[in-house]
A and B are shown apart, each in its own frame.
Chain A
Amino acid sequence: MTQKIEYLKPYRASEVKEILNPLVSEWFFSKFKDFSATQLYGVKTIHDRKNILVSAPTGGTKTLTAFLSILNYLVDLALKDELEDKIYCCYCSPLKALSNDIYVNLVQPLEEIAKIAEGKGMKMQEIRVGLRTGDTTVSERAKMARKVPHIFVTTPETLAIVLTTQKFVEKLAMLEFIVVDEIHALTNKRGVYLSLTLERLSNFSAIEPVRIGLSATISPLEEIAKFLVGQDRDCLIADVKLVKEIEIDMDFPGKEILDAWTTTSHRELYDMLDKIIEKYRTTLIFTNTRAATERVVHHLKEQFPGKYVGLIGAHHSSMSKDRRFEIENMLREGKLRAVVSSTSLELGIDIGSIDFVVLLTSPKGVARALQRIGRAGHQLHSNPKGMFIVLDRDDLVECGVLMKEMIEKKIDKTEIPHNALDVLAQQIFGMAISKVWDVEEMLTTIRKSYCYRDLTKEDFFAVVSYLAGDYALEHRNVYAKIWYDPVEKKIGKRGKLARVIYMTNLGTIPDESHITVVITTPADRKGQQVGKVDEGFLERMKRGDVFVLGGQKYQFLYSRGMKAFVKADVSKNPTIPSWFSEMLPLTFDVALEIGRFRKLLKERMGGFGGGRPLGRSDLPSRKKQEALDFVRKHLYCNVRVAQEIYDYFREQNDFSEIPDEKTIVVEKFKDEKEYLLFHSLYGRRVNDALARAYGYAAARLRMRDIGLGISDNGFYIAGEKLEEQKILDWVKAKDLRTILKEAIETTDVLKRRFRHCAGRSLMILRSYKGRDKSAGKQQVASEFLYRAVKKISNEFPILREARREVMEDLMDVKNAEQVLRWVENGKIKFKVRRTPIVSPFGLALHMVGRMDLIKMENRAKFLRRMHELHLKAIGNKVK
């Protein structure tokens, strides 16, 4: 069976109107003047019962598009008194808060339509909407079980739970529509999970439900469409283009960008923000990280005492649900002048009218940038408006290219994880709870998901074996969650607790370890808990460091277990730069585009420089003007920005060489160690893979540990003595995965990902027999589990999944292979240059500091070497 994925043309308004029940039509046109573009694509298509992916920029009318023909259908039935006691439509959204939102938006139209009917004296059955999320109370759930909703609003996790409830399954068996909202936010394991849940749903449905996917701007749409509908089902794509113009600009605080990190320019940054906030009614500022969010709120309050009290708020994912909800409400009510967010406000919760969006530091991808700026002008007829505020020169180039791509509407490609074995394990367990399966039927159902279309039998049975407790040998009864009968070829659940375990441990988002911050001084606030920081943040802290949390400054004293004890009311300035934590990776497509820009500008600066002293040489003024004009036109940026970019390139050119899309400049220099710094601008996901491969090559040459630093713009390896030619020659595209498997084996990142995978695959239950485990406890257990699993089999499926996740989701091994192939076929060339110190383009990367290590020397050898060194150091006086 071949699958047809086709782009759709919009219908005429009259064609859409024709299908509407007069009542619904009356209601619609009492609220709206005309159908939106999105509705012209979608309403009739859904009415015709065709699968559809609707991609439209934020500010569209996607949700009503999906619901209009469904409401229309239900009203038709209700008027004819033919509405049955079953779920007709299931609406699934990754956002809990959004579900609440939709609930209001669904119930209201229904009430209004009912009112019109009543006014006309028409009898109509009640159309029920039911919301169920993780927060729904037991009594509400019971009510829903008695009076089944016709439209069921839920989250991916809760949907999976109800699939194990016999009563619900009966009500879902004749489901006609399934709506997946915000599908662009599901290109991760959560989405993979949902894809299997949808297949489970289709598996027991008597009729194949129509699948409707709603997405913000994303690429490639064909992939997302297949992800929505699964294998062998057709899908139409409505690619609704943004008709509105984007108004976007870019600038930096201060006279020159080099100042951007000094305190004065910080003042200038907040002056700049202050002016923007004054100019607009409501401004939304995106910062990328939680820490930066805190910092911006803190500085605005400090620099403008009294001015922003109660008028500015922070919003990020580690804030409490109540606090976030409060901020969202204040936004909707128009009470806030500004809100600062990490990434949490990117998604489509209705936050009222925002007039202006500030992108403070790079959003790292076009789709994300569009999503963010789309938060302004959410209403139908205003344009999204915003600006980039850039703080360093690398960001200047990066944001310039991003701005170009936004204006030219070139969206970076996204990818969905494939064959994730941990998610598979959880779903097989869930499936086994629902019923006893024929093994072939189970595998066929799983393979219908786009994310598992090429799942091998071996992998499938490896996971079944794990779940059946085969790896535990004599203790099978403890570990087994399912039974598998190889003779009858059947799979079923095991143990009385199965359903409870599934319900309380389901999900794909790992618990992160957070450290609670507790005050010790001053005495009157002793014992007060002021918030949480993540464990990684604590690791970077020394006694005496000052950091910002929730807009307040604290000084770190010491930690005990999962608590950090601090001093409050400190006057010292923060000593921890938290801007760089939890960094978003630059997308590969934008990275390549920056490489192209580098090449174009390099050509215009024409074979210039190369080791000449800084500042002495410049282009003839006409040529220089041409280059500046090029930058301005190419990036749509102002003169100030163009001048800074030009200067930055000239400095690099004079010092060493401008790396570009065809040239990876490799700088060799000595600091404490010997460095090879690769100017490989491919985004940190690709660079992570490349750094570890070249790092491993260097480590094995001398059997010593090698330090690594990784950024979006490149990476470095550092060691005692680096033979660059041997190192460069050793890494080949065809070996990359094998090398990486070795290179990541002893890293913390693999252990951390293993912990997440162990949680998803239910090897570590966060909730068991009525007790919840802290993330810290899970972590301790996972350390031990990790070692134990490796002893059982180095190819244990969940361990393999952790490796896959590191290589494919965290890193981007596929594009790293591509880069290596380009090197091998001569499309890209390495140019090794010896430099006295790091060049301007490499400065930020060099300052990132060492991020990881390729451990080549084993523990035992390291200990003996350290012993020898120590004996020398203390003069052999041990005895």
Chain B
Amino acid sequence: MIKHVGRCLYIESKGKKILVIGDLHLGFEEALNNTGIFVSRTMFKEMINYLVGVFEEIGNVDEVVLLGDVKHTFGSVLKQEWGDVLRLFDFLEERGKKIFVVKGNHDVILRPIVKKKDVFLVDYYIAGGFCFLHGDRDFAENYDKKIKYWVVGHGHPAVKIGNGVKVEKYKAFLMGKHLGKKIILVPSFFDCNLGSDPRENNLGYAWKFNLNKFNVFVVQDDSLDVLDFGLLSRLP
């Protein structure tokens, strides 16, 4: 069973309950501070609040999979990141038995943080017909016949919806097929920006998906139910 829970994805496969969380970019605010933008740090608290809501909906799980880009900066560990990552893992460990982190392009030196915790840091994670990937790199193992689904982060998919007068952007899941696999592109979890519309931008995946044939599931602001908008090519 695959279920969208707001911007997260909930999977039940072979008796295992898995919660999937998209790109987090912890430390984003501190990184901004370091470039001279004095934004205050409210993001983490809001993320945790959101996750509390998600767990209320699905209960505790066996595994939590983070789809990468857990932290924002490349090549260094900021103070805020350090604290936030540890606090996030504390929070998740209370609600999931195991935590898998798929390495993202922003996670170059996540290891020293993860070492302190009982967390598995991997390039990809395969479980029960699902392959969890960040999305910037391809691996031979992804093509194993037993794998039916790819669950991918990285691209921050979102869609612009307009009626000719007003245009608004919303985070969205894109679901379709590629080389015989079912593909689920997961929106970013972090709140700082909504993401990019694949009709205007290249989302930077390692594969050339035919996104026009993907279905769009739009995440709502005030509900954990997503709205099925059908094919991307037919979106208003």
How many chain A residues touch B (CB < 8 A): the figure is 46
Contact B36 A769 (CB under 8 A): yes
Contact B230 A878 (CB under 8 A): yes
How distant is B25 from chain A, measured CB to nearest CB, in Å?
12
Contact B220 A853 (CB under 8 A): no
Quick one: CB contact mask for B24-40 with A, threshold 8 Å, 1 for yes?
Answer: 00000100111111111
Question: Is B168 engaged at the interface, CB distance under 8 Å to the other chain?
Answer: yes
Contact B193 A784 (CB under 8 A): yes
Question: Is A608 engaged at the interface, CB distance under 8 Å to the other chain?
Answer: no
CB within 8 Å for A478 and B36 given contacts A862-B168, A867-B218, A870-B236: no
Query: Out of A473, A784, A792, A878, which one reaches B32, CB within 8 Å?
Result: A784
How distant is A530 from chain B, measured CB to nearest CB, in Å?
24
List residues 18-69 of chain B with CB under 8 A from any CB of chain A: 29, 32-42
Stretch from A100-108, A244-252, A337-345, A760-768 contacting the other chain: A760-768
Of all chain A residues, which has the CB nearest B227?
A867
Contact B35 A771 (CB under 8 A): yes
Q: Which residues of chain A come closer than 8 Å to B118, judged between CB atoms?
A: none
The B interface, classified by DSSP as helix, strand, loop or mixed, is: loop
Q: Which residues of chain A come closer than 8 Å to B229, judged between CB atoms?
A: 867, 870, 878
Question: Is B165 engaged at the interface, CB distance under 8 Å to the other chain?
Answer: yes
How distant is B219 from chain A, measured CB to nearest CB, in Å?
9
How distant is A135 from chain B, measured CB to nearest CB, in Å?
24
Q: Which residues of chain A come closer than 8 Å to B234, judged between CB atoms?
A: 874
How distant is B181 from chain A, measured CB to nearest CB, in Å?
22
Contact A870 B37 (CB under 8 A): no
List residues 835-879 of chain A with CB under 8 A from any CB of chain B: 850, 853, 855, 858-860, 862-864, 866-867, 869-870, 873-874, 877-879
List residues 740-781 of chain A with CB under 8 A from any CB of chain B: 762-769, 771, 773, 780-781
Q: How far is the CA of A784 from the CA of B222 in the complex (A)?
A: 20
CB within 8 Å for A859 and B39 given contacts A784-B193, A867-B227, A878-B230: no
Query: Out of B29, B38, B168, B193, which one reaches A859, CB within 8 Å?
Result: B168
Q: Which residues of chain A come closer than 8 Å to B40, judged between CB atoms?
A: 471-473, 475, 479, 788-789, 792
Q: How far is the CA of A127 from the CA of B228 in the complex (A)?
A: 79
Contact A866 B236 (CB under 8 A): yes
CB within 8 Å for A773 and B35 given contacts A788-B42, A863-B168, A878-B228: yes
Q: Which residues of chain A come closer than 8 Å to B222, judged between CB atoms?
A: 860
Contact B38 A479 (CB under 8 A): yes
Quick one: CB contact mask for B55-94 with A, threshold 8 Å, 1 for yes?
Answer: 0000000000000000000000000000000000000000
Contact A873 B32 (CB under 8 A): no
List residues 426-475 of chain A with CB under 8 A from any CB of chain B: 471-473, 475
Question: Is A311 engaged at the interface, CB distance under 8 Å to the other chain?
Answer: no
Query: Out of A471, A781, A873, A877, which one reaches B37, CB within 8 Å?
Result: A781
Of all chain A residues, which has the CB nearest B163?
A866
Question: Is B12 engaged at the interface, CB distance under 8 Å to the other chain?
Answer: no
Quick one: CB contact mask for A681-714 with B, threshold 8 Å, 1 for yes?
Answer: 0000000000000000000000001010000000
> 16 pairs across A/B with beta carbons < 8 Å?
A764-B38, A765-B35, A773-B36, A780-B193, A781-B32, A783-B193, A785-B38, A788-B42, A853-B166, A855-B166, A860-B222, A863-B218, A866-B236, A870-B229, A874-B230, A878-B228
Q: Which residues of chain B come closer than 8 Å to A501, judged between CB atoms?
A: 36
List residues 123-169 of chain B with CB under 8 A from any CB of chain A: 161, 163, 165-166, 168
Contact B227 A764 (CB under 8 A): no
Contact B36 A866 (CB under 8 A): no
